[in-house]
Amino acid sequence: MVVAGDDDEDIADEILRGDEEEHKVISRAGLAELASRLRARGKRIVTLNGSFDVLHAGHLHILKEARRQGDVLIVGINGDTSVRQQKGPDRPFISQDERAAMLLAVRHVDYVHIFDEPTPIAFLEQIRPDVHVNGSEYGPDCIEAPTVRAHGGRVHIVERLTGLSTSDLVDKIRRSTTPAKNSG
């Protein structure tokens, strides 16, 4: 158990990162150059992608596991248009800029790229990661796998934590706010 007190700043530093200049949102035009600079410094590049619409413990689990696979974690997030196309007109709940800011505040994440395509293939073509991380619900033959493997990378699968998905969370919230119907 954590009790508020003198260690609050240390706890915050453990979870959040300051406004370091080098950790930021990267445009499509800057992805290949970033990857080249990182490789020149001998860094192992890891990618992960998703909507990250409502950040929760399941996301933190996969981000932490992704970071363990290399030196630099670049997260591709579906932009608002892409999320709407995939999940419906009432999504995303959180704007792409706010989702990017939240991810950059997590210590495991070094860079974020926002993409509007339905898949992250163009993002992965630019980065050419050493490792791409995906959840077990997508499996080793996920849509990203051919692109990652074509450039010499590997796909690392992380087991999903039971009951910790955005869809599960949204369903739970909706059920808790739906008034009970009277039967009489």
**Is 7 a residue whose pLDDT tops 90?**
no
CATH number, domain of 128, equals 3.40.50.620
Residue 56 falls within a domain, yes or no?
Answer: yes
Residue 178 falls within a domain, yes or no?
Answer: no
pTM exceeds 0.85 = no
The whole-number pLDDT of residue 38 equals 97
Residue-range definition of the domain harbouring residue 102: 20-161
If we measure between CA atoms, which residue out of 103, 81, 123 comes closest to residue 23? 103
Domain count, the chain: 1
Q: What separation, in Å, do the N-terminal and C-terminal C-alpha atoms of the chain show?
A: 46
Place of tokens 């020149």: 40
The whole-number pLDDT of residue 180 equals 62
Residue 172 falls within a domain, yes or no?
Answer: no
pLDDT in tens, 51-103: 999 888 889 999 999 999 999 999 999 999 999 999 899 899 999 999 999 99
The whole-number pLDDT of residue 8 equals 39
Band (177; pLDDT cuts 50, 70, 90) = confident
Residue 29 falls within a domain, yes or no?
Answer: yes
pLDDT in tens, 118-168: 999 999 999 999 999 999 988 889 999 999 999 999 999 999 877 667 767
Residue 180 falls within a domain, yes or no?
Answer: no
Burial of 81 (0-12, 13-18, 19+ CB in 10 A): middle
Residue 181 falls within a domain, yes or no?
Answer: no
